[in-house]
Structure 1
Amino acid sequence: MAVTFKVTRQKPELIPPAKPTTHEFKPLSDIDDQESLRFQLPLIWFFRRNPSMEGKDPIDVIRQALAKTLVFYYPFAGRLREFVGRKLVVECTGEGVMFIEADADATLEQLGNPLIPPFPCLEELLYNVPGSDGVVNCPLLLMQVTRLKCGGFILAIRLNHTMSDGPGFALFMSALAEIAHGSDTLSIQPVWERHLLDARDPPCVSCKHHEFEIVPNTKGTLIPPQDIVQRSFFFGPAEISALRRRLPLRLQTCTSFEVITACLWRCRTIAISPSPQENVKLLINVNVRGKGFNMKLPTGYYGNAFAYPAAVSSVEELVSKPLEYAVELVMRAKSMMSEEYIKSVADLMVTRGRPHFNVEGTYLVSDNRHVGFEDVDFGWGKAVYGGVAKGGIGEIPIVSFYIPVENIKGEKELVVPICLPDNAMKTFVKEIEAIFKVDDDK
């Protein structure tokens, strides 16, 4: 039965930085301002009642912490402007972040167990203030804090994705939590330095980018958003072991991400039933932070720092060959990522007008397991759930996020929201269930 509840909202307000900040223009990187990231990403956190915090209002705590955090992250209080060549630049105006105070006549338990996407009444928990949801000349963040009858609360955020990716925004959330705990300084200082991911001069597209290939429309591989249903799927140790048992010895060292992604791509392709002669693509969000890449991004860099290397296969080969075929394609696509690859993407952006990746016959996965959203703590303890609020991005239902959750035994699991038309979802469920049923029957 669908969960319904009433949310009472106060008038939206703008929260500016607690102190005056510099008025300046700060260009985004050529990775930040690609068309693929010009959308609003919904995120959500659910917190239980904590007896030790009695008498403290989470709305007041977060509102005050937000104003102080914006002193450090003051570009978020500004507005995006578009310049020549579709270049996006933040005008640091200090106008502030949109903030909504709300109350719901529901308890945390009524909202679902386990708490996973899709969440009931998300549009009530993250209200779209009229005129606030554009990419340019609009607030770069919208926050709604909703108190629950049980003493718990929900924090929902809408992020302009051009400003930050998951790891980048996790830095902002950690700073917000730090200040909510009473700190006046941050353990990690934010770093802008967006020029580090700008195109070269002159630009040189040196790599093959299947993700941005221009292809003619093919019948059956575009999914109308209005036809979409969403459902989340769990992958714990048992499911991952079952998938590994389907692989030959030489692939037993593959990661859980690689085998799960191969499984989902294959099952999803079967479910949407494209023509066997068509090619389908899997785009993998690969982060270039850390030691594996020579990008020299500072620890506090909070911009977008990833690209989408693609695996490509004919439908016929993907669905007829064993799982190991898809696993090897996933591994090969991941191995494409390098310093040169992401620089080539930045160069492609400026030479081709900052295009969107091609959505035709495409499935995109983004691994959020190590971002740390679930660790956010404002004093009430860690979130019961913290992460993306739904599958898909904007009006494009082809994206799945890998979200870490804990089951009732305290074991770490992965939950993956899938968006498909109703009939395709039924086929997808049958394919997934058949994989594990065969394994159980052995």
Structure 2
Amino acid sequence: MAPPPSTTLAFNVRRRKPELIAPVRPTPHECKLLSDIDDQESLRFYIPVIQFYRYNPSMIGKDPAAVIRGALAQTLVYYYPFAGRLREGPNRKLSVDCTGEGALYIEANADVALQDFGDILQPPFPCIDKLLYDDPNPKRMLNDPLLFIQVTRLRCGGFILGISVNHVMSDVSGMMQLILGMAEIGRGAVAPSIQPVWERQLLNARDPPRVSLLHREYDQVEEGTITSTPSENTVHRSFSIGPNQVSTLRKLLPNTLGQCSRFEVLAACIWRCRTIALKPHPDEEVRLLCMVNVRSKLSPPLPSGYYGNAVVFPAAITTARKLSQNPLGYAVKLVKQAKERVSGEYVKSVADLMVMKGRPHYPMAGSCVVTDLTRAGFEEVDFGWGKAVYGGLAKAGLGAKLPAASPCVNLVAIKGGIAISICLPAPAMDIFAKELEFHSKSLFISSGL
């Protein structure tokens, strides 16, 4: 199958000098502590988002770069912690020094048109490093901007918006609240319709902390045969799947499982296929980590406008042999059971664990983290030029470098269905593609670099 145009496309991008955009009005200068869910090691990276917009003749005379620049300055009045800088205290506790220094902004021009990217936009995108401004030293994080924005004008009159948000500040729901607020102001609103709420103390550890439940998602495991070592032979591909393929997968499940969500079916299938592709030792433990939004699981629920991290990573765990030799229903059952363990007490126990164990990272080796962003609303973001043609995560892996077996797999919304965005070593990717096709009994359309 020939690769789509977007994977072979090359073009030039001329960037202007980056500048710091401060809030348009004075904001409080204070120090604000992050929650004990926010500042865990697993979230200390930048979330890369990219939005594609068509030319809109009704916006003639308006410059998207100028509109977004102005909207950013006004939005930072309400979300002023994003104009500050991270500081680290005892026990690796993070706080935000609200200095008002600003977010990093850059405008650019590209000698390419939107139609050159092809009919269906999905990761991986060509020349992504030219369209998305990343922190040159993402591991440093302290004292660096918390928000990076690049607006790239296209030859056709459309534009691309690249956004990188420090994950310790917000999960995807919180980030969307920020971006949608900025879009509202870009369209002429005087303030975001949803007022931001900090109140990170609501997700702090108890005093004294007490880990009341088992959290195997934070097991400290030795490096196994499934590694996360960087590789020059890493391949990033997307596999698009529609409602018919999801229905086909559901038919593989026993009736005893009851109602299964789309995420549970796809996550289990991805986990199984990925494990088979990576060929770990049969007795090696493998785990699927589900990113679960807990806003509705807390009592009382978090206030409307809360834009911090409210996610946990319950783990489904088995051996590579059991996962690969059992039917798909076995994996789906494990995923359902993992999600069902999440409760208000579970969230409190995670926060306590972070304080008691030094804010650990989930194990990279043997893990697969599936994140469902299909209902996040990226495509709804409208600065006046209409909804995005594509909106969502820019790449799999989420970090600045794509590791050989990055544990992160993203489900993003695309025209006509869902894209499974994943990166693996090239030989494993070939096996993964064959396993997906085998499971679905129909054709998965794929693209890759």
User: TM-score when scaled to structure 1?
Assistant: 0.95
C-alpha distance in 2, partners of 1:401/1:130?
24
Give, in angstroms, the shift of residue 249 of structure 1: 1.9
C-alpha distance in 2, partners of 1:129/1:326?
37
SS at match of 2:236: strand
C-alpha distance in 1, partners of 2:27/2:166?
21
Amino acid in structure 2 at the alignment position of 1:414? I
The residue aligned with 1:371 is: 376
Identity rate, percent: 54
C-alpha distance in 1, partners of 2:136/2:265?
42
SS at match of 2:295: coil
The residue aligned with 2:190 is: 184
User: TM-score when scaled to structure 2?
Assistant: 0.94
The residue aligned with 1:65 is: 71
Alignment length (residue pairs): 434
Give, in angstroms, the shift of residue 439 of structure 1: 9.9
State which drifts further: 387-396 or 169-178. 387-396
Give, in angstroms, the shift of residue 436 of structure 1: 2.8
State which drifts further: 370-379 or 211-220. 211-220
The residue aligned with 1:415 is: 419
Q: Of residues 20, 24, 41 in structure 1, which corresponds to 2:26? A: 20
Give, in angstroms, the shift of residue 219 of structure 1: 2.8
Give, in angstroms, the shift of residue 153 of structure 1: 0.1
Contact residue 244 and residue 252 of structure 1 kept, 8 A: no
Aligned CA distance change for structure 1 residues 133 and 279 (closer, same or farther; 3 Å): closer
Q: Of residues 333, 337, 343 in structure 1, which corresponds to 2:342? A: 337
Q: Of residues 250, 258, 262 in structure 1, which corresponds to 2:256? A: 250
State which drifts further: 153-162 or 132-141. 132-141
C-alpha distance in 2, partners of 1:132/1:7?
22
C-alpha distance in 1, partners of 2:246/2:62?
42
Hey, which bits of structure 1, 4+ residues long, moved more than 6 A? none
C-alpha distance in 2, partners of 1:427/1:97?
42
CA deviation vs aligned residue, 1:166-193 (integer Å, no higher than 9, x gap): 0001000111011011111221100000
1:136 correspondence with 2:142: yes
C-alpha distance in 2, partners of 1:335/1:417?
25
- In the TM superposition, 1:235-246 aligns within 5 A as 235-246=241-252
Q: CA RMSD in A?
A: 1.6
State which drifts further: 295-304 or 420-429. 295-304
Q: Of residues 180, 200, 208 in structure 1, which corresponds to 2:206? A: 200
Contact residue 276 and residue 432 of structure 2 kept, 8 A: yes
Amino acid in structure 2 at the alignment position of 1:253? Q
Contact residue 16 and residue 70 of structure 1 kept, 8 A: yes
Contact residue 55 and residue 156 of structure 2 kept, 8 A: yes
Which blocks of at least 5 consecutive residues in structure 1 are unaligned?
408-412
1:44 correspondence with 2:44: no
Q: Of residues 98, 105, 109 in structure 2, which corresponds to 1:99? A: 105
Give, in angstroms, the shift of residue 225 of structure 1: 4.4
The residue aligned with 1:404 is: 413
SS at match of 2:67: helix
C-alpha distance in 2, partners of 1:66/1:240?
39
Which blocks of at least 5 consecutive residues in structure 2 are unaligned?
1-6, 445-449
SS at match of 1:176: helix
Give, in angstroms, the shift of residue 223 of structure 1: 4.5
Contact residue 69 and residue 179 of structure 1 kept, 8 A: yes
State which drifts further: 428-437 or 350-359. 428-437
1:160 correspondence with 2:166: yes
CA deviation vs aligned residue, 1:133-172 (integer Å, no higher than 9, x gap): 7311000011000000001000001111100000001000
Aligned CA distance change for structure 1 residues 259 and 132 (closer, same or farther; 3 Å): closer
